């Protein structure tokens, strides 16, 4: 059986707002204001920066992947929460900065009797996250599944 490849297309628009600020938009969504991260000229902790957006994308993609697998397997999810931390460091091969390791802690509560099945879906959730598949960073996820 041949797997049919689906193509997913996403569009965004960025407009420079002056200095080191930009507004990022996607069709039908509220705009995000982006500045450099803390410690860089033009930083504004009241706005998102590309590094925080990347971490949030990884967390939300992992969550959506997990929730999809739970829905397909009849696992009732009561709550889901995650935290993530990653550091940018210079890479050995070309001295450019990159996320090399990211740690994520995921705490999930599922309905009674669903613990084992939910736990078995965590590896699939990690595997099927499009964002984690799109980075070379080592991603370590600690799952805490509770009933």
Short-list 78, 66, 67, CA closest to 111: 78
- pLDDT tens sequence across 42-71: 999 999 999 999 999 999 999 999 999 999
Q: Report the distance separating Cα 106 and Cα 83, nearest Å.
A: 7
pLDDT band at 92 (very low <50, low <70, confident <90, very high): confident
Q: pLDDT value at position 107?
A: 98
Q: Is 85 left (phi over 0), alpha (psi -120 to 50) or beta?
A: beta
Q: What share of the chain is helix, strand, coil (3-state, %, to 5)?
A: 25, 35, 35
Percent of the residues in the chain that have a pLDDT greater than 90, as a whole number: 90
Short-list 139, 141, 143, 142, CA closest to 115: 143
Q: pLDDT value at position 83?
A: 98
Short-list 105, 64, 60, 68, CA closest to 84: 105
Under DSSP, the state recorded for 48 is B
The model's pTM is: 0.91
- pLDDT tens sequence across 104-130: 999 999 999 999 999 999 999 999 999
Q: What mean pLDDT is reported for the chain?
A: 95
Q: pLDDT value at position 3?
A: 77
């Amino acid at each position: 059986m041949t797997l049919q490849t689906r193509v997913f297309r996403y569009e965004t628009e960025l407009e420079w707002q002056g200095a080191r600020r930009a507004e990022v938009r996607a069709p039908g969504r509220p705009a995000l204001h982006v500045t450099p991260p803390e410690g860089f000229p033009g930083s504004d902790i009241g706005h998102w920066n590309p590094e925080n957006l990347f971490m949030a994308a990884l967390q939300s993609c992992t969550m959506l992947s997990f929730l999809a697998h739970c829905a397909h397997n009849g696992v009732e999810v009561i709550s889901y929460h995650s935290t993530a931390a990653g550091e940018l460091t210079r890479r050995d091969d070309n001295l450019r900065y990159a996320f090399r390791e990211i740690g994520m802690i995921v705490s999930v509560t599922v309905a009674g009797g669903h613990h084992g099945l939910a736990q078995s879906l965590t590896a699939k959730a990690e595997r099927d996250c499009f964002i984690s598949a799109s980075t070379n960073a080592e991603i370590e996820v600690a799952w805490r599944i509770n009933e």
